[in-house]
Structure 1
Amino acid sequence: MLLHIPDVLTPQQLADIRQRLDGADWVDGRQTVGDQGAQVKRNQQLADHSPLRQQLGAQIEAAVLGNPLFFAATLPLRLLPPRFNRYQGGGQYGFHVDGAVMQLAATAGSAASQLRSDVSCTLFLCEPDEYDGGELIISDTYGEHEVKLPAGDAVIYPSSSLHRVQPVSRGARLASFFWVQSMIRDDSQRRMLYEMDTCVQTLARTGADSAAVLQLTGIYHNLLRRWAEV
């Protein structure tokens, strides 16, 4: 499921993040991918061990987990801590597929673990008119979809999708990106649950028959119970 999620960040949060990234130390983005990815990746990232990445990542994680649309669409079990990248001066990332299994670093009180990437997310941190190029191109069975969103908005899409970032020929494109392991492994099942949840919320707001809304809500949770991996 490809979905635009608006207003993940408030203007104040966005301004604070941008100010802190302006003075950040960036490293070659190829340090975080394997040999195949390094052949097509030309960008910069905050180092994984950077305290700034950890601080801003925690802020992004809190924002997305507190967003009802993001939660309903992804049904997150765990997130890979958000990372940050910058494309400028022709920087791009050719077609690639995200890794299926990713390493979660050990934290206080817990050992290192792994995350299955079900859903990929890009959170745009620059307005579209601040840079030329930089479109996220997502390829699926319906063709190629071009995504270039307002600052503070996010897009989610299946991690199994081929995708790329167009060269940035003017300005700089800043974004946060991360992956979600969903309680629902299958994308089509996640889509059905999201659409059903949306219908339930709409019916409840418009004063539909309460018994029917309750019954539909029960079906939603019983399907979630049947399909969820927790």
Structure 2
Amino acid sequence: MMLHIPAVLTKPQVQEFRRHLAQAEWIDGRATAGPQGAQVKRNRQLAELSPLAQELGGVITQALANHPLFFAAVLPLRILPPYFNSYASGEQYGMHIDSAIRTRPGTANAMRADVSSTLFLSEPEEYDGGELIVSDAYGTHEVKLAAGDVIVYPSSSVHRVAPVTRGERVSSFLWSQSMVRDDAKRGMLFALDQNIQKLRAAHGDNEITVELAGHYHNLLRMWAEV
């Protein structure tokens, strides 16, 4: 399941992020890629343990944790601290699949990567190219969102970032381990949850919404790993 979540960061927050990132020291993005990814990855990143990455990443993690749509779609058990990258002058990231197991920077603590998220920090008109291109069973999807918006998609998807031919594409990306590892089951739970919310908004709580909510939580009880 792919989901666009708008305005996770406000425009003033994005401007503040960009002000700090414009003065940051970037390193070769291949430093955090696996052997396969390093062959096709050409971009720049903030160092994993840089104070700036940790400070800005904390803001993003908190914003996502407090966002009801992100929680409903991802059902996060663990969220890896966000990374930050930049693409310019033809830089790109070729076709790859994210590693299944990620290690929290500076620790030996590992987690499973079920859901990938990209938060755009450049407005679409600031750069040409740079689309996130995700291929799944339903086809190929090109994503280029407003600054502050997030796209979430299964980490098992084959995806790439198209070459940036003008300007600079700045973004943050992160992985989450979900309480429900199977994407299809997460998708069903999300659809059920959203329809329950619509029924409640239209008709208030009643016998039907209570029963549907019961089915939702019983399915979550059946499928969740915590």
Same fold (TM over 0.5): yes
Partner of residue 36, structure 1: 36
Is the counterpart of residue 147 in structure 1 residue 143 in structure 2? Answer: yes
Partner of residue 88, structure 1: 88
Partner of residue 125, structure 1: 121
Q: Deviations over 1:10-48 (max 9, x none)?
A: 112111111111111000001111222111000000001
CA distance, structure 2, for counterparts of residue 177 and residue 166 of structure 1: 16
Partner of residue 178, structure 1: 174
Q: Deviations over 1:139-160 (max 9, x none)?
A: 0112210000000001000000
Q: Deviations over 1:173-208 (max 9, x none)?
A: 000000010000100100000000001100000015
Identity %: 58
Cα shift at 1:209:
6.2
CA distance, structure 1, for counterparts of residue 118 and residue 205 of structure 2: 38
User: Could you tell me the TM-score, scaled by structure 1's length?
Assistant: 0.96
Is the counterpart of residue 16 in structure 1 residue 12 in structure 2? Answer: no
Partner residue of 1:134 out of 124, 130, 137 = 130
Partner residue of 2:154 out of 152, 155, 158 = 158
Partner residue of 1:206 out of 202, 219, 223 = 202
- Alignment root-mean-square deviation, CA: 1.0
Count residues in correspondence. Answer: 226
Which is further off, 8-17 or 42-51? 8-17
Unaligned runs of 5+ in 1: none
Cα shift at 1:49:
1.6
CA distance, structure 2, for counterparts of residue 209 and residue 40 of structure 1: 52
Is the counterpart of residue 4 in structure 1 residue 7 in structure 2? Answer: no
Q: Residue 219 and residue 16 in structure 1: after superposition, are their counterparts in 2 closer, same or farther (change >3 A)? A: same
CA distance, structure 2, for counterparts of residue 95 and residue 196 of structure 1: 33
* Amino acid in the other structure paired with 1:39: Q
Partner of residue 218, structure 2: 222
Partner residue of 2:164 out of 163, 168, 174 = 168
Q: Deviations over 1:110-136 (max 9, x none)?
A: x63111000000000010000000000
Question: Helix, strand or coil for the counterpart of 2:203?
Answer: coil
Moved over 2 A (4+): none
CA distance, structure 1, for counterparts of residue 34 and residue 72 of structure 2: 32
Partner residue of 2:183 out of 181, 187, 190 = 187
CA distance, structure 2, for counterparts of residue 128 and residue 105 of structure 1: 30
* Amino acid in the other structure paired with 1:53: A
Cα shift at 1:105:
3.8
Q: Residue 25 and residue 76 in structure 1: after superposition, are their counterparts in 2 closer, same or farther (change >3 A)? A: same
CA distance, structure 2, for counterparts of residue 163 and residue 6 of structure 1: 21
CA distance, structure 2, for counterparts of residue 67 and residue 18 of structure 1: 22
* Amino acid in the other structure paired with 1:123: L
Unaligned runs of 5+ in 2: none
